[in-house]
Amino acid sequence: MHIQKTLLIILLACLGSRPALAQVAVESDPATGKKGLVATKNNRIILPLEYDEVKIEGRVVVVKKDRLKGLFTLNGKVILPVECQEVRTDFKKSSTPEYYGASKNFRWGLVDSTGKTVVPFEFADARLILPDLLAGIHGRSLDSIYFFAPTGKQVFAVRGDKVLRGFNRNTVQITGRKGELSFLDNKGKPVFPANISGGIWTDGKTIIAAHIGQG
């Protein structure tokens, strides 16, 4: 019983130490219908009531005004100004800082939680692939994929149409225009020997399907 009470106290303490999302709320201007963000404790306006849409998504707030979107922290700091066609906040929170996607001038890029651009806004798609590897995908238009470190430095680039996480935290799977598969490590080096193409791994040690060429 003593152990159960101790665990309960620790749990409540941990919950109490986390920032409560209920401390902020979306409010509407009765006259205009425009929305903003206020602090529930003292009704302090965090984001002015001037937006068409305001959505709290985890630790951030997505706003929309005149068909353009922006991204703010819960205390009102700008991450992305209101100049984006789309904003994505659904990447897995597997690393720090967190990353957010957006399209500007109909080109996708990524920023970190401070608003720093880590994948430039010049791709058909941009996403977090590994905890320490980000990707900008040109896709079928240019058939190329560029990879970036969390600092924004380009690490390597390859020919390809699609990219997914590989069989572990250190590999990526590249799909070519004709559906061919290849695996690279997080530095851009091929995982398979040169005479194996289209290999698929199960646990990182066993090839379950591959074409083995001569030589």
In this predicted structure, what is the pLDDT of residue 164?
92
In 3D space, the residue among 117, 78, 77, 85 whose CA is nearest the CA of residue 103 turns out to be: 85
Contact indicator for 114, 100 with CB cutoff of 8 Å:
no
- Beta pairing partners, 108: 103, 123
Residue 79: enclosing H or E segment and its boundaries? strand 78-84
What pLDDT does 176 receive? 85
Please confirm whether the linkage preceding 131 is cis (ω < 30° from 0).
no
Mean per-residue pLDDT, 59-78: 97
Helices (H) then strands (E): counts for the chain: 1, 20
Element (H, E) at 17: helix 2-17
**Neighbour-count burial of 31, counting CB atoms closer than 10 A to its CB (0-12 exposed, 13-18 middle, 19+ buried):** exposed
Chain mean pLDDT for the chain: 84
The pTM score is 0.80
Q: E-assigned strands of 131-180? A: 133-137, 144-148, 154-159, 162-165, 171-175
DSSP state of 151: T
Q: What confidence tens digit (pLDDT) does each residue in 125-183 have?
A: 999 999 899 999 997 768 899 999 999 999 999 999 999 998 888 999 998 888 888 88
CA angle (144 as vertex; 139, 148 as ends), nearest 5: 105
